[in-house]
Amino acid sequence: MTTTMAPGTYRRPVRLTLIAVALLCAGLHAQVSDERLREAAQEPENWLTYSGTYSSNRYSELDQMAPSNIANLEQRWVYQTERIGPWQATPLVVDGVMYVTQRPNDVVALDARTGRVFWIYRYPTPPDQRACCGSNNRGVAILGDTLFLATLDAHLVAIDATTGGELWNTKVADKDAAYALTLAPLAVKDKVIVGTSGGDYGIRGFIAAFDASTGEEAWRFYTIPGPGEPGHETWESCPETPTTFCDPDAWQHGGGAVWLTGSYDPTLNLTYWGVGNPGPDFNAAQRPGDNLYSDSVVALDADTGELKWYFQFTPDDPYDYDSVQIPVLVDVVRNGVPFKVMLWGNRNGFFYVLDRETGRFLSGRPFVELNWAEGLDDTGHPIETPQPPGAPTFPGVQGGTNWYSPSYSPRTELFYVTAWENYGSVFDDAPQEYREGRSFVGGAPTSFAPAPGAPTVPGLSRGPLNTWTEAAGHGAVIAVDALTGEQRWKFEMTDVSSSGLLTTASDLLFSGSREGYFQALDARTGELLWKASLGGQIINGPITYEVAGTQYVATIAGHSLVAFALRD
């Protein structure tokens, strides 16, 4: 006898099984394990950390877009934020969902294919927060199914990546002392690591790790060492009879902010962070000594925060040459010799190659015109050439580069950096006593301009008119050899640029500009291949990702997040 099951009878278990499998798969996709973060380069369809991967190369293996078809790139969607102001964020993309921060301290989850919004998390930013330079937030981190947001009032918040619901909220530092957090956190193993902003307000900077599950602080590393700690001796005692104002407690408000996301080498279990300027910014006389670890890179054990090594780029800095850039970790083999290095395009105008296991200086050379130093000695220490009073110093206060993310392509073995060329400032110092929560800069740089009263190059943002012009400096994307720093090509722009860079496996380089152009260059030659005028300044880092077999490239221009893909 043959038994025939009623229609639907056998389908139910199958359907349930399929649903279970689908849920399991969905659940697995939603979980961004620390293993996935370590191997982020292996899933180029996603953009899992601020800089794409732990090595911060901002290089993608995606190659659907290529020089041969880039002319067919077209806009697919636009998301417009409700708040105006410079937008520096880099989005994450996780399995088709994009997470981006917007002013003042929101997180938005969008469909990465259409730009339609799933949810918005709105952090209640206190009106009396004192973050330097506006409501900047550069992005979130993800671990498991949790997003991590650093806030302008110096809290760290965990958010459910699916619902946008808040899971925990930990106070990291005191906003009344002008501590703030503007960087995208870095998730490593079971911890979330952040650094503090406030280096122009006399904070004592630190990097701290928090348990990703509970928000409990796991370790803290002060970028300004206290009494008894190695490096404290570089905050030298004041002379018995100082000829100018000298602060005997300078280290207590010595700055050393950390406002960009660090990098991580899983094989060494070291996490690397760029440290900002000493405070006050411009009056070095009141804080004698090299002022460690200001303007340095520090290598910290990811589990304990223990300092393994440091390298200081600009000792006793009077120019606000923050070393808050992205540490780019690269493995290169030259002439059969493997190099495990860190590449650094510094605000002070020099490009550095460091051994990232030891911090040893390997090479360095200027990537822009500069005159504050005539070179570097064998240890990488600058041979300084201070300019006479009233004379311009190059690069100027905004630096040869700044927070704009660089890129490295393993195909070209070139390091790409956004640079400001022919840009100088006349520095002037002034004694300033520290007062909690207040700006603490110790002087003011004057823009070097060809005519008195000529407009200043805007430090953070610009409108649609360029009134300062090329006479005050101009921007460029510069490609240098990863090991020698030798310039290979340069793409010049009329205005200075604050855009991050992105390279791909098809030898494309994406760059933006303050002028509002989003442009694709040939990563090997610097030739312009494609451009689009987006109407607002691009001061974030472009990303690329893939959804349903289509490669997208996205950037933020003005108040709009824009995604492009090839025409079907």
Partner 1 sequence: MGRRLLVVGMCVAGLALLVAYGSPDGRGRLGRLGVLGAVHAQAIGYEQADIEYGAAVYRAQCVACHGDRGDGVPGVDLPSGQFRNAVTDRDLRRVISNGIPGTGMTPVELDAAETVGIVAYLRNMNTDAESVVLGDVGRGLAVFEGKGECLTCHRVDGRGPRVAPELSAIGASRAPSVLRRALLDPSSVMRPINRPVEVVTTDGERVGGRRLNEDTYTVQLIDENERLRSFDKADLAEYTILTDSPMPSYEGQLDTQELADVLAYLVSLKG
Site string for partner 1, 216-235 (x = CB under 8 A): --------------------
- By CB under 8 A, the residues from 117 to 156 that bind partner 1 are 127-135
Report if residue 466 touches partner 1, rule: CB under 8 A. Answer: yes
Q: How far is the CB of 110 from partner 1 (least distance, A)?
A: 22
- Contact criterion met (CB below 8 Å) for 337 and 348: no
One residue of 51, 137, 291, 447 binding partner 1 per CB under 8 A = 447
C-alpha 302 chain-centroid distance: 19
Interface with partner 1, residue 390, by CB under 8 A: no
Write the interaction track for partner 1 spanning residues 504-543; mark x where CB under 8 A is met and - where it is not: ---------x-x-x-------------x------------
Residue among 441 and 523 whose Cβ is closer to partner 1: 441
Q: How far is the CB of 454 from partner 1 (least distance, A)?
A: 5
Among 446, 484, 550, 560, binds partner 1 (CB under 8 A): 446
Stretch that binds partner 1, among 11-19, 380-388, 459-467, 547-555 (CB under 8 A): 459-467
Task: Pick the closer one to partner 1 by CB: 129 or 346.
Answer: 129
206 alpha-carbon distance from chain centroid: 17
Q: Is 102 in the site for partner 1 (CB under 8 A)?
A: no
363 forms part of the interface with partner 1 (CB under 8 A): no
User: Contacting partner 1 (CB under 8 A), which of 376, 462, 489, 556?
Assistant: 462
- Of 7, 8, 124, 450, the residue at the interface with partner 1 (CB under 8 A) is 450
| Phi, then psi, of 297 in degrees rounded to 5 | -110, 135
Name the minimum Å distance from CB 386 to partner 1: 20
Which residue's CB is nearer to partner 1, number 104 or number 215? 104
| 3-class DSSP assignment, residue 11 | helix
Name which of residues 541 to 560 contact partner 1 (CB under 8 A): none
Shortest CB 453 distance to partner 1, Å: 5
Among 451, 548, 549, 568, binds partner 1 (CB under 8 A): 451
- Catalytic annotation on 295? no
Candidate ranges 41-49, 73-81, 348-356, 492-500; the one touching partner 1 (CB under 8 A): 492-500
Burial class (CB in 10 A: 0-12, 13-18, 19+), 439: middle
Residue type, 509: L
Q: Does residue 402 bind partner 1 (CB under 8 A)? A: no
Tell me the C-alpha distance between 169 and 190, whole Å.
17
If you write DSSP's letter for every residue of 129-181 in order, what string do you get?
Answer: ---TTSS-----EEEBTEEEEE-TTSEEEEEETTT--EEEEEE-S-GGGT-B-
Task: Name which position in 169, 213, 387, 461 contacts partner 1 (CB under 8 A).
Answer: 461
Which residues are bridge partners to 350 per DSSP? 366
CA-wise closest residue to 294 among 365, 373, 205: 205
Amino acid at 336: G
Q: How many CB atoms lie within 10 A of CB 31?
A: 16
Task: Provide the β-strand partners of residue 481.
Answer: 414
CB of 438 to partner 1, least distance (A): 6
DSSP type of residue 316? T
- The number of angstroms, rounded, from the C-alpha of 6 to the middle of its chain's C-alpha atoms is 61
Q: Does 471 bind partner 1 (CB under 8 A)?
A: yes
Q: Which two tokens stand for residue 514?
A: 């303050």
Q: Which of 247, 290, 320, 481 is catalytic?
A: 320
**Angle made by CA atoms 81, 87, 91, in degrees to the nearest 5:** 80
Please tell me whether residue 268 binds partner 1 under the rule CB under 8 A.
Answer: no
Annotate 395-449 with three-state secondary structure. Answer: CCCCCCCCCCCCEEECCCCEEEEEEEECCCEECCECCCCCCCCCCCCCECCEECC
Placement of tokens 């791909």 in the chain: 504
Sign of CA dihedral 394, 396, 397, 399: negative
Q: Are 182 and 259 in contact (CB under 8 A)?
A: yes
Closest CB to partner 1 among residues 412, 447: 447
Report if residue 470 touches partner 1, rule: CB under 8 A.
Answer: yes
Q: Is 103 in the site for partner 1 (CB under 8 A)?
A: yes
Q: Which is nearer to partner 1, 234 or 393 (CB)?
A: 393
Report which secondary-structure segment, H or E, holds 511. Answer: strand 508-512
Q: In the set 336, 388, 453, 549, which binds partner 1 (CB under 8 A)? A: 453
CB closer to partner 1, 382 vs 424: 424
Judge if the upstream peptide bond of residue 392 is cis by omega within 30 degrees of 0.
no
Q: Are strands 425-426 and 382-384 parallel, antiparallel or unpaired?
A: unpaired
Residues 58-97 contacting partner 1, CB under 8 A: 83-86
* Residue in 30, 454, 483, 532 binding partner 1, rule: CB under 8 A: 454
Q: Between residues 318 and 359, which has the closer beta carbon with respect to partner 1?
A: 318
Alpha helices in 318-399 (DSSP H): none
Those residues whose C-beta lies under 8 Å from the C-beta of residue 12, and which sit 6 or more positions away, are none
* Catalytic sites, residue numbers: 320
**Contact positions toward partner 1, by CB under 8 A?**
83-86, 103-104, 127-135, 200, 430, 432, 437-447, 449-456, 458-472, 492-495, 513, 515, 517, 531
